[in-house]
């Protein structure tokens, strides 16, 4: 059984295993900063306390996993035990279909006669731009 939250030292060890790069120190700080560039080009950033033996609260650790490191608790502990980096999905695998607002779909399908596949292929901004451009056209 593992602790609810690792020590800051264990988090730093995970970061090294997972291929994170320590950033140069910018002045006096009570933290060490790290970043990792993912295969899809996104840059993740996190930091650890100089107090390596202390632990973040379980809630704080959950936020770090979800919002900064972007992995599950299980992936964290597995990597720490195995010494192997986390296998994150590539950009194509991680993509989820865009859920367009109902009003956007109504205009794209009903007024511009686009198919579901054509609409699904649009990102949110492109879909809205088509709707706004349609609305901006002069009416004959």
**Residue 92 has what pLDDT?**
47
8-29 core/surface letters (b: 16 or more CB in 10 A; e: else): bebbbbbbebbebeeeeeeeee
**Residue 15 has what pLDDT?**
96
* pTM for the whole structure: 0.60
10-residue stretch averages of pLDDT, the chain, 140 residues long: 79 95 76 88 88 88 90 94 87 60 90 86 88 85
**Residue 39 has what pLDDT?**
85
Q: Count CB-CB contacts under 10 A for residue 91.
A: 12
């Amino acid at each position: 059984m593992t602790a609810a939250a690792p020590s800051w030292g264990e988090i730093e060890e995970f970061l090294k295993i997972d291929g994170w790069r320590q950033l140069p120190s910018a002045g006096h700080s009570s933290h060490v900063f790290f970043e990792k560039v993912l295969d899809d080009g996104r840059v993740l950033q996190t930091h650890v306390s100089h107090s390596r033996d202390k632990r973040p609260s379980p809630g704080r650790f959950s936020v770090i996993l979800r919002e900064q490191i972007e992995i599950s608790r299980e992936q964290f502990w597995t990597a720490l035990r195995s010494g192997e980096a986390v296998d994150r999905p590539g950009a194509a695998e991680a993509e989820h279909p865009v859920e367009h607002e109902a009003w956007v779909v109504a205009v794209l399908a009903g007024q511009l006669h686009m198919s579901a596949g054509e609409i699904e292929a649009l990102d949110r901004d492109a879909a809205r731009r088509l709707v706004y451009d349609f609305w901006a056209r002069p009416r004959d």
